[in-house]
Amino acid sequence: VGTRSFVISIDPMSGECGPAQFMSGLAAFVSSSSCPEGLRFILHGKSQELESLVSAYPSLQDRVDIEHAPGVVAMDDKPSYALRYHRDSSMWKAINSVRDGYADAVVSCGNTGSLMAMSLIQLRRVTGADRPAIAGVFPRYKKSGMTIVLDLGADVKADERNLTQYALMGVEYARLLGDNIPKVAMLNVGVEQNKGPAAVREASAVLSKIASDPDAGFEYIEFVEGKDLLSGVADVIVTDGFSGNIALKAVEGCALYFSNMLRDALSYKFMGVPIVERGVMMMFPKLRYVFKRSDPRRANGGVLLGLNGIVVKGHGDSDDVGVSSVLGVAANAVKNDLSGRISLRLASLTEGEYM
């Protein structure tokens, strides 16, 4: 990184979000307090389209460079297809900027499988990480802050070695977010030691051993169940990508379910007078907070951990809040050298002969 200021490489073309929406979100981010001073952006995609979009936001003019990339990875492209036929795409080129040292992080809302495959090939895994993982953050009610959950779907299965490495990568991500001694747990079907698949029980035994070192820098609290994804008993929750992805989307579905029911309930008549939602919101300001906390866009920004470089993936259907949140995650990870910290942490796993 050296003395130059930080640069985020952006793929605004991929995903249902679309470049116009992405640019609007980028402008919102640049004018927010989460945007570090001097941060610059490289936009990859159809240059004419991008230039005309950027020209609508004066705040972006001297912060962005545009690099032409004619291709776009579609949401339903298989990763193998994208790898073979989309080397001219905004996604590939955006990752390329990080590989060649022109940027410190990539942000894309494109299809996760292709983003992961292209990042793996270009950035490669950090030493000690057998597999990268997607980490996301969940809100919680018993404690302030967020709970980091991984893997959210980089791979559909994970053995005990993968799970252990996910846990250690999650520890570094948690420390980045301000948890100095994060509490780490494995997601399981019960809290008793004899429960769950062998890989989960074995990873749990290794993590207990590592955490017993007073300098481990995290506490291992063994198993938690699905309900604890939102409770706050753990700061990092580890699972395989299949269960993690299903749990993530179940929680998003739940947020939708409750928002729908709540809006329906609140658009009720009070003493014969219809009360619109906005009116109720004014009466009960804290209800705004419920909607805000239940907003899946705010828990946006999956980070691909375990690569030589920061790769952040947004929701396919992001809006201003979503795009801005994803960019904030990328900026924070770059500023604190998340990749370097993970690399050091995983080296300690091998040196300690824990596995």
Least distance to its own copies, CB of residue 184, Å: 17
Q: What is the C-alpha separation between 31 and 37, in angstroms, rounded?
A: 10
Q: What is the C-alpha separation between 114 and 103, in angstroms, rounded?
A: 20
Q: What is the C-alpha separation between 327 and 10, in angstroms, rounded?
A: 9
> Binding string, 76-115, against its own copies, x = CB under 8 A?
x-x-------------------------------------
225 binds its own copies, rule: CB under 8 A:
yes
Least distance to its own copies, CB of residue 305, Å: 18
Give the residue with the Cβ less far from its own copies, 6 or 242.
242
Q: What is the C-alpha separation between 283 and 231, in angstroms, rounded?
A: 28
192 binds its own copies, rule: CB under 8 A:
yes
Least distance to its own copies, CB of residue 267, Å: 9
Partners of 88 in beta bridges = none
| Contact criterion met (CB below 8 Å) for 118 and 92 | yes
What are the backbone dihedrals phi and psi of residue 188, each rounded to the nearest 5 degrees, phi first? -150, 175
Instruction: Determine which residue in the list 56, 205, 254, 347 makes contact with its own copies, applying CB under 8 A.
Output: 254
134 binds its own copies, rule: CB under 8 A:
no
287 binds its own copies, rule: CB under 8 A:
yes
Give the residue with the Cβ less far from its own copies, 44 or 131.
131
344 binds its own copies, rule: CB under 8 A:
no
Pairing of strands 105-108, 310-313: parallel
294 binds its own copies, rule: CB under 8 A:
yes
Report the residue count for the chain. 355
187 binds its own copies, rule: CB under 8 A:
yes
Return all residues near 270 (Cβ < 8 A) that are at least 6 apart.
none
Torsion angle defined by CA atoms of residues 335, 336, 337 and 341, in that order, rounded to the nearest 10 degrees: 180
Give the residue with the Cβ less far from its own copies, 57 or 81.
81
Instruction: Determine which residue in the list 208, 293, 340, 347 makes contact with its own copies, applying CB under 8 A.
Output: 293
Nearest CA among 123, 179, 145, 140 for reference residue 304: 123
Q: Which two tokens stand for residue 172?
A: 């570094």
Least distance to its own copies, CB of residue 137, Å: 14
Secondary element (H or E) of residue 67? strand 64-68
Instruction: Determine which residue in the list 1, 51, 52, 268 makes contact with its own copies, applying CB under 8 A.
Output: 268
Partners of 185 in beta bridges = 237
Question: What's the Rg (C-alpha) of the chain?
Answer: 21
Give the residue with the Cβ less far from its own copies, 315 or 345.
315
Binding positions for its own copies, 49-78, rule CB under 8 A: 76, 78
Q: Computed from CA positions of residues 125, 131, 134, 137, in that sequence, does the dihedral angle turn out positive or negative?
A: negative
Binding positions for its own copies, 157-176, rule CB under 8 A: 157
Give the residue with the Cβ less far from its own copies, 97 or 147.
147
Where along the sequence are the contacts to its own copies (CB under 8 A)?
Answer: 76, 78, 139-141, 153, 156-157, 187, 189, 192, 194, 196-197, 225-231, 239, 241-243, 245-258, 260-262, 264-266, 268, 270, 283-287, 289-290, 293-294
